[in-house]
Amino acid sequence: MRLFSTIAVLLIMILQAGTAGGQAVKPGFLNYIDHQWVDSVFKTMSTDEQIAQCIWVAAWSDRDVSHSFEIADLITEYKIGGLIFFQGTPEKQAELSNHYQSLSEIPLIIAMDAEWGLGMRLTGVDRFPYQMTLGAIRNDSLIYLMGRSIALQARRTGVHVNFAPVADINNNPSNPVINYRSFGEQRENVASKSVMYMKGLQDNGILATAKHFPGHGDTDTDSHYDLPVLKHSRQRFDSLEFYPFRRLIDEGAGAIMTAHLNVPALDIRQGLPSTLSDIIITGLLKKEMNFSGLVVTDAMNMRGVTGAFPSGTAEAKAFEAGNDVLEFVTDVGAAISEIRKLIESGRMSAAELEARCRKVLALKYWAGLADFSPVATVGLSDELASGELKAQIRELYENAITVLENRNNVLPVRNLESTRIATLAVNRKAVSIYQETLGRYTSVDHYFVDMNGGDGYREVLETLRDYDLVIAGIFGTDQRPGSGFGISAGLDSLIKKLNRQNRVIVTYFGNPYAIARIPSLQEAAGVILTYQENDFTESLAAQLVFGAFGSRGTLPVTINPGYPAGYGIRIPGNIRLQYGYPESAGMSSLLLNHKIDSLANLGISEGAYPGCVVMAARKGIVVFNKTYGHHEYDGRIEVREDDLYDLASVTKIAASTPALMLLDARELFSPDETLGHYVPLFKGSDKQDLKLREMLAHQAGLVAWIPFWKETIKEATGEFRSRTFQPGPSDRFPVMVANNLYIHRTYRNRLFREIRDSKLGEKKFLYSDLTFIIVPEIISSITGEDWTGFVTENIYRKLGAHNLTFNPYLKYPLTRIVPTEYDSLFRRQLLHGTVHDEGAAMLGGASGHAGLFGTAGDLMKLMEMYRRQGSYGDEQLIPREIIAEYTTCQFPENKNRRGLGFDKPLLNNDELPDEEVYPIRETSLSSFGHSGFTGTFTWVDPEYELTYVFLSNRVYPTRDNPKLSELGIRTGILKALYDSITD
């Protein structure tokens, strides 16, 4: 199962077990109201100090020193009870928290308004999704786990209270202040997710604060700037707005935040904010609803409350109304003075003040402040940016993404071999992560259109006519309704015109309400809603398009009659690779990243290669994908993801073998047939009866290799024989071997005759290139077509692996092709874009044993198809039983570890010393792969669900460089993968 989902069912059972019978749960901190520590502290306090404990002021960690002096003065002069931190950095906030705590005689409560985690306020910390996004998730246990993670983040930073969750039911699309901060419009969904979030916080030591009572979800005025008026009936409030708050109270919510609203149905006093209403706060919330936890006001600097009452007076009225804590107080002295007058006049009893103060002190004891220790700042940012948190955030977005249209099952995209695809970024001028990720799955062309440029998109539309499918993304919109959600004029027209001429998949990266303003989206072939625009959603939306995972999200709000709340189309997934984090697949990024970085960089610093690419996947999720170094040691061109490497002998399992497996599946080839049966040239030779099974397992007695090129050079002068090579192409010399070097058209025949006449040895394991030089002849004789075209059309294009190719110089710029060796003996030039292997070069660059070039990403697709037992892209490309046969050790009785084409672990790894095992001791016997002379390596372990690709050009500038093997870099990285597995 996926990360964080593995205990989902158990969590739900545990959480629901505590709610049986609807019994109210007492907030945990109230158990300490009469604790000895609370008693001892309270006895030392004056009336003003008791009042001050109920006042929490705003603090920032990104302001200058004058601000910190101001806060310090409030602490020492008035002995305030707490701080609410806003914008800043984790380290600075922790430093200031420690400083402020050192100044306070009674430890301070540190609170944050962190609805979507500390990243809502602190730079360098990833944000969790908005609550509207979370409202789309079906699996509520994920919300609990999010609450847990936010609690752990908060505790690590010295925070004790989070002003979350938002329990408002947003049923007004024009709501300017709640909107995307709500879980949605359905009361059950809002309530259940609010409870889960609350429990995730409080079960892990952070007090949750449900807000904004009595319900802020149906306002069209922002209470930061004015006082909203809600004219609904009491019956409506009972049935809707109150519902989540009642649930939260029953489940033990520790705090509730009151809103600055005017609600005539609850209190008829005209213009009175609910924050200041004793009828609403004391009568309704505390008595009728039996809430015994901490009642906290919304920020007391908001115009919704200060518009009618000045500082000091507003706080006193809020306190008198029944609020326990006044937050974001701007004039502490005035507030204390006015509240003292309440006590002195008898409008509030000393006992009531004591009860409020004791609540705050009890909360401090519950939060561990009786034994306060400073926050450790070392490594704080790294802990808050852990791979586990990133993987969790990714999973939340993945579960939220909602498919609204899927005509003719356009999602996930299939038939890559026959579909010409364009991507279109609306309101972007450079390739987006969305487009970049789409390009990882298949060959696509990228286009852009700026909707602020009038009708300038007409030219792009005309160009797009030639494509079978356009995958568009709408970017740069606004979450808030005030600007019409940032929907530009002409956007609907653009989508409408695209729909008329193309099959179109559109991803909308923004607020769901905005889709109502783009009616043409309902006519698109596919529509995907991500709710937010960020790196996570851009990458995930592209993955969803190609079926890396399935869609599970449902709308938390109604967009229009066609898209009601609860609507969402489910599509299948897990048909192609995902891109995630190590923790997404049960691995540790802390271990993995450090070890791989160290090894890869060691190879560069020691001169084992100028650069490399490392890619690894587990459970079908790419968990590592990184480039290092440069094409050459001069450092001019950095290695990039889309660079092509000479795969060398990996060609054997990436080109020859898959073609044979396809033919075997079609019953056109059998490894138990003889060589003479397939290739007439070998009839009558000592090789005619060799079984292909023996040959493919390197057990046929063939010599290891033949240096064909040496026979083409005059021994006396070192010059090429004129009847073999010429510097330019012609009818007689049409085959390019390297730049300015062309071989005679008949030389191929001579090369095969030399193989036929080579010495045949004992049938024991001896690694030989000769079998795989012969394999293309077998494939072509069976299919009647060019063998490279056969494997390309039937395997590579179906995988979307368009960058697996021979002779890349024919279609790629040299800046994308990594050079290999400077060949001073044969070709006498730097090999750049042409194959390194001499024999493959003399066969025109395409041989069954060498010649294939590719990117790490495309080789990964092929190897992942093998790991999935022949399935990829929702198609069984090669039957499972064929994959199983070819990747199984064929002749263990002869101590031969090889499969059919595939390399395997040594059979006695468990008995060998570390320096002799292959590839490493941890690999299972079911694992398989291959290495390449140029510095390449790939390995699959079905048992551990691992797929690994390593590409380098260790032969640059000379093959006489053994450091890659001596340092054990390729196998060291493989070991790091196993060592990083945590499940």
pLDDT in tens, 845-897: 999 999 999 999 999 999 999 999 999 999 999 999 999 999 999 999 999 99
Q: Return the pLDDT at 716.
A: 75
Mean pLDDT (whole number) for 463-468: 96
Please write the tens of the pLDDT for every residue from 198-221: 999 999 999 999 999 999 999 888
Please write the tens of the pLDDT for every residue from 470-507: 999 999 999 999 889 999 989 999 999 999 999 999 99
Length of the chain: 983
pLDDT value at 959 more than 60: yes
Q: Return the pLDDT at 456.
A: 67
pLDDT band at 453 (very low <50, low <70, confident <90, very high): low
Taken in order 678, 680, 683, 686, the sign of the CA dihedral is negative
Mean pLDDT (whole number) for 138-149: 98
More confident residue, 457 or 618: 618
Concatenating the DSSP letter of every residue in 235-283 gives HHIIIIIHHHHHHHHHTT-SEEEEP--B-TTT--STT--GGG-HIIIII
Map tokens 């999935």 to a residue. Answer: 868
DSSP H helices, 527-588, are 535-545
**Cα 397–chain centre separation:** 9
Q: Return the pLDDT at 10.
A: 41
Those residues with Cβ within 8 angstroms of residue 453's Cβ, 6 or more apart along the chain or in another chain:
none
Q: Return the pLDDT at 14.
A: 40
CB of 481 closer than 8 Å to CB of 174: yes
Taken in order 421, 427, 430, 431, the sign of the CA dihedral is negative
Beta bridge partners of 59: 85
Q: Return the pLDDT at 306.
A: 78
**Tokens coding 505:** 């998949």
**Tokens coding 394:** 């990714």
Please write the tens of the pLDDT for every residue from 242-261: 999 999 999 999 999 999 99
CB of 52 closer than 8 Å to CB of 79: yes
Please write the tens of the pLDDT for every residue from 306-363: 777 888 999 999 999 999 999 999 999 999 999 999 999 999 999 999 999 999 999 9
pTM above 0.85, yes or no: yes
Q: Burial letters for 797-832: b for 16+ Cβ neighbours within 10 Å, e otherwise?
A: bbbbbbbbbbbbbeebeeebbbbbbbbeebbeebbb
Q: Return the pLDDT at 304.
A: 74
CB of 939 closer than 8 Å to CB of 919: yes
pLDDT value at 625 more than 90: yes
CB of 941 closer than 8 Å to CB of 966: no
> Cis omega before residue 630 (within 30°)?
no
From the list 503, 510, 436, 501, the residue with the least C-alpha distance to 471 is 503
Distance, in Å, from the CA atom of 380 to the CA atom of 626, rounded to the nearest integer, reads 25
Those residues with Cβ within 8 angstroms of residue 936's Cβ, 6 or more apart along the chain or in another chain:
645, 646, 647, 648, 649, 650, 950, 951, 952
Please write the tens of the pLDDT for every residue from 509-519: 999 999 999 99
Mean pLDDT (whole number) for 934-963: 98
Mean pLDDT (whole number) for 261-289: 95
pLDDT band at 711 (very low <50, low <70, confident <90, very high): confident
Mean pLDDT (whole number) for 391-415: 98
Q: Return the pLDDT at 717.
A: 80
Percent of the chain residues past pLDDT 70, beyond the cut: 97
Mean pLDDT (whole number) for 958-974: 97
pLDDT band at 238 (very low <50, low <70, confident <90, very high): very high
pLDDT band at 16 (very low <50, low <70, confident <90, very high): very low
Collapsing DSSP to helix, strand or coil, 981 comes out as: strand
Q: What is the dihedral of CA 877, 883, 885, 888, to 10 degrees?
A: 170
Mean pLDDT (whole number) for 579-586: 98
Helices 187-202 and 242-250 pack at an angle, to 10 degrees, of: 30
Q: Return the pLDDT at 17.
A: 40
More confident residue, 18 or 907: 907
pLDDT band at 13 (very low <50, low <70, confident <90, very high): very low
Distance, in Å, from the CA atom of 506 to the CA atom of 977, rounded to the nearest integer, reads 37
C-alpha distance from residue 880 to each of 697, 840, 866, 905 (Å): 20, 31, 9, 21
Distance, in Å, from the CA atom of 49 to the CA atom of 54, rounded to the nearest integer, reads 9
Please write the tens of the pLDDT for every residue from 802-814: 999 999 999 999 9
Q: Return the pLDDT at 455.
A: 57
Q: What's the mean per-residue pLDDT of the chain?
A: 95
